[in-house]
Amino acid sequence: MKLITGGAYQGKLDFAIKKYNINTTEIVNGETFDVADLSNIRCINNYHLFVKKLLENGENPISETSKIISENPDIIIIIDEIGNGIIPLEKNERIWREQVGKVGCLLAEKADTVERIICGIAIKIKG
């Protein structure tokens, strides 16, 4: 598994497509994809929004993530960094932000490589 992270609009998806030679049909969006349809998929984009969807459906993002990465060991996952701001007033926003942190730590621990993209520039922080 490979992990790509960084703030919003830093060029994470472009970087993934170029570096790993991914066809756009091989990418799913975290907001909309179904876990059952991961065959022929190489990249999950917006994983932080997938975490939000899981929470809205009352599911556990940590166990779902463990399952996805054990069943798809070659998957490329793109997740935004969202925890570098003021603690949100709204409780669900706080839970989402913290769960994204924990899920990100799990992904980074399991990943062979972690790349962080800033202004389109990739910095390898693991692997």
Per CB under 8 A, 11 contacts another protein: no
| Residue 45, beta-bridge partner list | 29
Question: From CA 126, how far away is CA 101, in angstroms rounded?
Answer: 17
State the number of CA atoms in the 13 A half-sphere of 74 facing the CB. 8
**Which range touches another protein (CB under 8 A), out of 13-21, 36-44, 64-72, 80-88?**
80-88
Question: From CA 24, how far away is CA 68, in angstroms rounded?
Answer: 20
Task: Please say whether the dihedral angle defined by the alpha carbons of residues 6, 64, 100 and 107, taken in this order, is positive or negative.
Answer: negative
Strands 113-118 and 121-126: antiparallel
Nearer to another protein, 40 or 124 (CB): 124
Nearer to another protein, 32 or 63 (CB): 63
**Which range touches another protein (CB under 8 A), out of 12-20, 52-60, 62-70, 105-113?**
105-113
Binding another protein (rule: CB under 8 A), the pick from 102, 112, 120, 121 is 102
Per CB under 8 A, 87 contacts another protein: yes
Per CB under 8 A, 104 contacts another protein: yes
